[in-house]
Amino acid sequence: MNNIYSHRNCPTKCRRFKLLATVAGPSKDSRLVSAALSTIRHDLREVQMFHTDRGKEFDNHLIDEVLDTFGIQRSLSMKGCPYDNAVAETTFKAMKTEFINQYNFQSIDHLNIELFDYVNWYNNVRPHGALNYLTPREYKEIFYKNCPILC
């Protein structure tokens, strides 16, 4: 499973927690990352950075082409430093606890259908303690309403 998060030029809390794209597949490889990138319904020209760990699935010419086309800077975690991916790791833990461990998926299609619903719930319904118990959508709306100059 691959997740892609929102990264914008604004304070850390604004860019945390919102999942932009999530896909599941039979193996964790570059095709899965490419599939996730292709499902983003967000203006990629506004994305400034694509941050990943050093997994082999992110070393791919298709991904490089997308990043180059939209002028997105690549950022890699430092080797052996899980703190670089703290937001991603926290999100994975929540996803495993709240979603993956609660189901017995019959197929990849079943997983993707349920995953779509989970991501919608995660971004639009689930309150996040780090966001003062607002949803990412609510937090973003308040942030942009009060701070139009920064973003």
- CATH at 121: 3.30.420.10
Domain that holds residue 79: 2-146
Cβ contacts of 72-77, under 8 Å, gap ≥ 24:
72/44, 72/47, 72/48, 73/48, 73/49, 74/49, 74/50, 75/49, 75/50, 75/51, 76/51, 76/52, 77/51, 77/52, 77/53
Number of domains in the chain: 1
> Do 114 and 99 contact (CB within 8 A), yes or no?
yes
- 47 vs 105, more confident: 105
- The answer to whether residue 137 is domain-embedded is yes
- Kindly tell me if the per-residue pLDDT of 82 is higher than 70: no
Query: How high is the mean pLDDT of the chain?
Result: 78
- The answer to whether residue 151 is domain-embedded is no
Average pLDDT for residues 89-115, to the nearest whole number?
88
Q: What confidence tier does 5 reach under pLDDT thresholds 50, 70, 90?
A: very low
Q: Using N-to-C axis directions, what is the helix angle for 61-70 and 30-38, rounded to 10°?
A: 30
Q: What confidence tier does 11 reach under pLDDT thresholds 50, 70, 90?
A: very low
- 147 vs 74, more confident: 74
- The answer to whether residue 127 is domain-embedded is yes
